[in-house]
Structure formats: structure tokens, C-alpha cells
Amino acid sequence: MTRRVSLGDLGLAAGFAAMGLVWLAGARDMPMWERETPGPGWLPFAFGVLLVVLSAAAGLQALRRADAPTEAPGALRKPLLVLAATLAAVLGLEVVGFVAAIFLMLLVLYALAERKPLLGSLLAAAGVSAALHLIFVTWLGVPLPAGPFGG
């Protein structure tokens, strides 16, 4: 049986370690100690050191265990599609407005990611975006981005 290292665990450990390095580098530009009290840089420096050390240990643990289950082919396809649709909706918020951006995101998710019937997808997307507009803009008075269509 082949031993598989969890690339996800390694990636997360590397990401948190990188964050620790950013905190270490940033803290060096701040005062560390002012008279008897830690300055604004002391605690970020300590957190940076801890993050690097603990993340390195988590990475080593992932390498030593190497018992990651095999990923099903295409397991990442749908989550990535959902993430891309979310990203596109956020990109479109200030371009086409909240209602249109959310409507399009919902339509893509229902019709493309979930392969729902087009009419059902259209109705659900329209209903949810209208309900959110009603709750946030009409009831709560939140100025969600209006876009060129004023919605």
C-alpha cells in the first residue's frame, strides 16, 4: 500500500507559516519594548514566532503520518466552480449592482453547477435576490450597491 502525504495539510501549514513570517517581518519595524512595557511590535513578533514553529510542526506531522485518503476524481470541480461564481458575484457587485450580481450567481449555481431545470433556476434566483433586496435594502435600509440598473 502506498503512503500518501496530505497535500492539503502541508499547504495549510505552509500558508500559516508564511503568515507567521509576514508577522515577524512586520513586527521588526515596530517598537518592541518601551520602558517596562511591551511595545506594539512585541506581541505580533511573538505570534509570528509561534505561528512559524507550530506550523512547521504541523507540516512535519503531515509528512510523518502520510495516511491521507485518496481524493475522488473531480471532487474539487464543484467547490471550485462555486468559489468562482462567488468571486464573480463579488467582482460584479459594484459593476452591475447587488441584485443583478446575486441573480446571475444564483442562476449559474442552479443551472450550471447543479443542473437544475432552467425555469426553476430562474424562479429561485429571482425569488432569492428579490427577498434579499427586500430584507437588506427595504427593511434594514442598507445601501447595497445599486449598479446601472438601480437595483
Q: Which residues bind other proteins (CB under 8 A)?
A: 6, 8-9, 11-13, 15-16, 19-20, 22-23, 26, 30-31, 33-41, 43-44, 47-48, 50-51, 54-55, 57-58, 61, 75, 78-79, 82-83, 85-87, 89-90, 93-94, 98, 102, 105-106, 109-110, 113-114, 116, 124-125, 128-129, 132, 135-136, 140, 142-145
Least Å distance, CB 61 to other proteins, is 6
Q: Residue 23 or residue 96: which is nearer to other proteins going by CB?
A: 23
Q: Residue 66 or residue 79: which is nearer to other proteins going by CB?
A: 79
Q: Residue 2 or residue 62: which is nearer to other proteins going by CB?
A: 62
Q: Residue 26 or residue 118: which is nearer to other proteins going by CB?
A: 26
Distance CA 51, CA 124 (A): 44
Least Å distance, CB 79 to other proteins, is 5
Phi/psi for 78 (5° steps) reads -65, -45
